[in-house]
Every structure is written in C-alpha cells, then in structure tokens.
C-alpha cells in the first residue's frame, strides 16, 4: 500500500512564490477551487495525475517536490525541544510535523534561536572556567555560531549546490582535465586563465600555511607537505575563488546569513564544494560510482583523490533528474566531536552532545586504516549500511602532532544491491542490525546497555535494591507502570 502524499503546505508555498491565486491554479490543474483548497489544507492527498500536472506547470523536478525534506526539520526540532529548557512535557510528533510543514521558515528560525541559546550557555560555562579578565572579554566578543549556520545551509540544500556543480563539470569538459594529470592540468589552467603561477614551498622556507595566495604577485604557494590529492584540491579551490566568485557571492547573498563570519565560512565551503566537483565531475564520477558499486578505494584510484574526498563527493550526488544513491557523510574526531556532517538520507546527526556510542564510526579509531562495515537500525526502524574508516593527516615532522579523524559513509539498506559493502550482511534479518540512535538524550530505546544518560522528558525510577545491565530505568510521558532496572546511581556514582 502506497503512502498518501499530503503536500498541501508545500503546494501553497509554490503557488504563492509564483504569485498565483488559488482560483487561477485550480483552473490550470483542472480542479475546482474548493478541491484545491482541501489539498492545500492537507484535507486531501495529492494524486499522481495532479502531481504530474504540477511538475509540468511549474517546471519542477517531481522527485524533489515529493521528497520528504520536512523529516530533517522535524528531527532537528525534536532534538532542540529535548533541551531541559523546554521541560513542560513532550510535544507530539504530529505537532512537530505540522509545524515543519506549515511554517518551515519559522521552524528554522526557532532552531537558530535555540542555537544562540546553546552558544550563550557554552560561553557562560567558559567564563566560569576562565581565570583572567582579558580572556573573559575575548570570550564575550567571540562570534556567534557561524559554523552551525553554514552546516545548516548545506544540510537543508541536500548538500547539492547546482550552480557550482554544473559550472565545475562544464569547466572540466571544456579544459579536458585528466584524473591522471590533474595537478598539471589545474596548474596550467591557473596560469593560462588567471595568470597565477604555483610555487611548492617547504616548511623550512618559512611558509607555515597549506595554501596561501598572494594576489599582488599572482602567486599561489602550496606546502610541500601536502599529499597529491590535497594539492590538487587546493589548486581547484583557488580556481573556484578566482573564476566562480560571482556565483559564490550570489549564493551567499541568497542564504541570508546573520553574521559576517558565517558568510566568510560559507565562502570557503562553497569554494571547497566547487573544488570537489571539479576533480570529480558529476556525471563521470556518478557513472564510475555505479560501475564499481560505490567502492571507495576503486574511486580513489580512478580519480586520484583521498578516501575522505570520495566519501564527501558521494554524499553530494543529488542532482535533480540524475540522483545517485543518497548517502550520509560524517567526520568525527577522537573526542567524538562531529566536524563535518551531511546527509541526503533520513539518517540524522546529533546537533549537540555526543553521537551514539554503538555507531561504528567510533570504533574506527581502534582499527586504524581498516574499513569497517555495520548494519545498523535507527529508532524509526530504518536500517543503514554504515561504512567507517580512520584517516590520519600527518604534519610532516616528529614534533608536530598528526590529526586523526574517523570518516563515516552510509546509505539505507534498501540500496544494498548498489553498494559493494553489503556483501556478507544479512540485510533481510531484522535482528542482525545493531540498534543505534541519534544521541542518548533523544533516544527512546529502553534496553540499551551503552546509554550514557536517560532521554530528556522521561521519568526516572530509582531502586536501590535492584541493578541490572541497563544503566537507567525510565518511562515516557503518558506510560503506565514502571519496569525494574537500575537508577542513575548505577552509572558514574559509587562504582
């Protein structure tokens, strides 16, 4: 049985954007005004014939219109509302869905407000731990959540930036860039098109940056410590800043960022996006990815790029009309901080606090360089094929610490036949999947032995005479009865 599509709020926004009256659109769709009114108020679902007419009239990609983008917003709202700040009881999922569908922009601005509150809380904590008045002043003067704002920009863009992706592909085809000689081709392009010469400099020459562009002399300095893939990426990044500046500035202007810092960070992010799309052109990369069933190491070899670059690029293959397998991409440091995150799937990341400890991305640090594969299931019962591997970014000297990260890439198990990493996984067996969640504070799993703390909004039961392997006993609001399990004294208190 197919799911009924209630997309009335989305259709109404589309109509209002095109400055059409309800009566005018009803005539174009060959519907009565009253019937269209019922659709726009989600009292009737959209039928396939009406959907096809909408796609034709508005010249939109049907898959993009139907896609449940509101699920991401609902997930973010749910996590924000799990904050102790909102302790007045749980809000029903139906209310969250209605808010995301009817007033998505208001919902997003509410999230921005909550992020500001979170940032303020962090600063208060930082001030409490600071000793000097000078440092207090610096903490107070610090920028407000620019990275979170930029991450949300890419998150809600489905991690696909059409104008830059298409421009990168056109440039690659026009110039005939070759994967085997990418560095040489990019350096030649910089010289011919932008009159920029490239110098590779060693650390002992006094150059400490990975990349530095001197506009006055038209020289791009690259560190000799950079690997081949990283060097090509930085060359492509400079091409973006010089050749795509107008497009980048237009995209930044449309994003309505609240701070200059966010605009600057997004400028870097968009240049990085173009760079990835230039060394891995969309159609060529997507075709190769399908041919090797998304084997990351084979794609590394064919395009001369790094493991992380391949994973990130796979997460961007969401061009309307030519979509690839929807992947999530994440980069985590050894402390569990998520430093990069993008998802074209229903998989949601924790915005605040740590991610689920049962997720294999954390295990990657214990087995350096080895590709780990996990079949995991989220609380919404969607199973994912999760791939993880650690990467080390060396500093080039014994006394300079290397940077270590774990890279995670995954897709829904429904795409198993298209992904080589499904080999050996018992996809059809529900019990074979590891039960994971977004983060402990919003995860409702009652039998998780790895839980760090109970979910926000739950009711704890403490029994000093009983202790089991599950760290916390809790009941959700509205549940009757209480199950025996340990209270919070079992974990972190008295051994």
Question: 359: domain CATH number?
Answer: 3.30.450
Q: What is the DSSP string of 53-70?
A: HHHHHHT--HHHHHS-TH
> Each residue of 215-253: pLDDT tens digit?
999 999 999 889 999 999 999 999 999 999 999 999 999
Look at residue 408 and tell me if it is in a domain: yes
Q: Tell me, yes or no, whether 242 and 215 share the same domain.
A: yes
Q: Tell me, yes or no, whether 53 and 87 share the same domain.
A: no
Q: Tell me, yes or no, whether 194 and 301 share the same domain.
A: yes
Look at residue 448 and tell me if it is in a domain: no
Residue labelled with tokens 């809000």: 91
pLDDT value of position 74: 79
Q: Answer with the residue of higher pLDDT: 318 or 14.
A: 318
pLDDT value of position 235: 98
Q: Tell me, yes or no, whether 117 and 209 share the same domain.
A: no
User: Residue 478's domain spans which residues?
Assistant: 458-495
Contacts for 112 with CB less than 8 Å, ≥ 6 apart: 149, 258
Tell whether the model's pLDDT for residue 402 goes beyond 80. Answer: yes
Q: What gap in Å lies between CA 432 and CA 70, rounded to an integer? A: 30
> Each residue of 268-293: pLDDT tens digit?
999 999 999 999 999 999 999 999 99
Q: Count up the domains in the chain and report the number.
A: 5
Q: Tell me, yes or no, whether 207 and 256 share the same domain.
A: yes
Question: 299: domain CATH number?
Answer: 1.10.10.2910
Q: Tell me, yes or no, whether 136 and 40 share the same domain.
A: no
Choosing from 142, 174, 192, the residue where a domain stops is 142
Whether the Cβ atoms of residue 183 and residue 231 lie closer than 8 Å to each other: yes
**Which candidate, 165, 183, 184, 162, places its Cα nearest to that of 173?**
165
Name the pLDDT band for 130 (thresholds 50, 70, 90): very low
Look at residue 149 and tell me if it is in a domain: no
> Each residue of 299-317: pLDDT tens digit?
999 999 999 999 999 999 9
Choosing from 36, 66, 96, the residue where a domain stops is 66
Tell whether the model's pLDDT for residue 33 goes beyond 50. Answer: yes
Average pLDDT of 352-366?
85
Q: Tell me, yes or no, whether 135 and 17 share the same domain.
A: no
Look at residue 204 and tell me if it is in a domain: yes
Whether the Cβ atoms of residue 263 and residue 156 lie closer than 8 Å to each other: no
Question: 53: domain CATH number?
Answer: 1.10.260.40
Contacts for 149 with CB less than 8 Å, ≥ 6 apart: 112, 115, 257, 258, 259, 262
pLDDT value of position 134: 40
Q: Tell me, yes or no, whether 239 and 306 share the same domain.
A: yes
Contacts for 222 with CB less than 8 Å, ≥ 6 apart: 198, 199, 200, 201, 210, 211, 231, 234, 235
Tell whether the model's pLDDT for residue 417 goes beyond 60. Answer: yes
Average pLDDT of 177-204?
93
Look at residue 319 and tell me if it is in a domain: no
Q: Which of 162-166, 276-280, 305-309, 334-338 has the lowest mean pLDDT?
A: 334-338
Tell whether the model's pLDDT for residue 356 goes beyond 90. Answer: no
Q: Tell me, yes or no, whether 384 and 340 share the same domain.
A: yes
The pTM assigned to this predicted structure is: 0.71
Contacts for 389 with CB less than 8 Å, ≥ 6 apart: 307, 364, 369, 370, 371, 372, 406, 407
Look at residue 3 and tell me if it is in a domain: no
Q: Tell me, yes or no, whether 176 and 277 share the same domain.
A: yes
Name the pLDDT band for 346 (thresholds 50, 70, 90): confident
Residue labelled with tokens 């029994």: 463
Burial of 35 (0-12, 13-18, 19+ CB in 10 A): middle
């Amino acid at each position: 049985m197919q799911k009924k599509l209630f997309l009335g709020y989305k259709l109404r926004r589309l109509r209002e954007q095109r400055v059409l009256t309800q009566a005018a659109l009803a005539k174009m769709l060959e519907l009565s005004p009253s019937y269209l009114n019922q659709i726009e108020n989600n009292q009737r679902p959209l039928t396939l014939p009406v959907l096809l007419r909408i796609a034709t009239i508005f010249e939109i990609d049907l898959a993009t219109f139907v896609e449940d983008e509101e699920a991401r917003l609902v997930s973010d709202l749910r996590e924000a509302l799990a904050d102790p700040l909102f302790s007045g009881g749980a809000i029903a999922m139906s209310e969250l869905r209605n808010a995301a569908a009817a007033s998505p922009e208001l919902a997003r601005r509410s999230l921005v407000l909550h992020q500001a509150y979170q940032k303020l809380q962090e600063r208060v904590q930082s001030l409490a731990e600071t000793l000097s008045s000078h440092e207090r002043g610096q903490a107070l003067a610090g920028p407000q959540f620019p990275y979170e704002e930029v991450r949300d920009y890419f998150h809600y863009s489905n991690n696909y930036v059409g104008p830059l992706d298409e421009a990168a592909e056109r440039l690659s085809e026009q110039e005939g860039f070759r994967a085997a000689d990418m560095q040489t081709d990019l350096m030649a392009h910089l010289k011919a098109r932008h009159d920029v010469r490239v110098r590779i400099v060693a650390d002992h020459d006094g150059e400490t940056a990975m990349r530095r562009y001197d506009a006055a002399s038209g020289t791009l300095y690259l560190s000799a410590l950079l690997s081949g893939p990283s060097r090509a990426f930085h060359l492509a990044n400079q091409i973006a800043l010089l050749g795509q500046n107008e497009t980048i500035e237009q995209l930044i202007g449309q994003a309505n960022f609240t701070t200059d810092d966010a605009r600057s960070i997004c400028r870097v992010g968009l240049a990085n996006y173009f760079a990835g799309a230039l060394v891995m052109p969309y159609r060529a990369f997507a075709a190769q990815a399908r041919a090797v069933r998304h084997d990351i190491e084979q794609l590394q070899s064919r395009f001369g790029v790094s493991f992380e670059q391949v994973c990130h690029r796979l997460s961007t293959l969401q061009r309307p009309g030519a979509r690839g397998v929807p992947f999530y991409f994440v980069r985590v440091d050894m402390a569990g901080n998520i430093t990069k995150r993008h998802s074209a799937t229903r998989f949601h990341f924790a915005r605040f606090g740590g991610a689920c400890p049962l997720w294999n991305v954390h295990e990657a640090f214990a087995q350096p360089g080895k590709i780990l594969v996990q079949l995991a299931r989220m609380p919404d019962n969607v199973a994912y094929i999760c791939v993880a591997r650690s990467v080390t970014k060396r500093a080039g000297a014994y006394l300079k610490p290397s940077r270590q990260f774990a890279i995670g890439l995954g897709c829904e198990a429904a795409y198993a036949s298209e992904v080589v990493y499904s080999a050996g996984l018992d996809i059809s067996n529900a019990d074979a999947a590891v039960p994971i969640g977004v983060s402990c504070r919003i995860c409702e799993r009652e039998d998780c032995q790895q839980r760090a703390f109970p979910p926000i909004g739950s009711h704890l039961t403490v029994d000093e005479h009983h202790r089991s392997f599950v760290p916390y006993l809790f009941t959700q609001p509205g549940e009757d009865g209480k199950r025996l399990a340990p209270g919070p004294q079992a974990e972190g208190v008295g051994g």
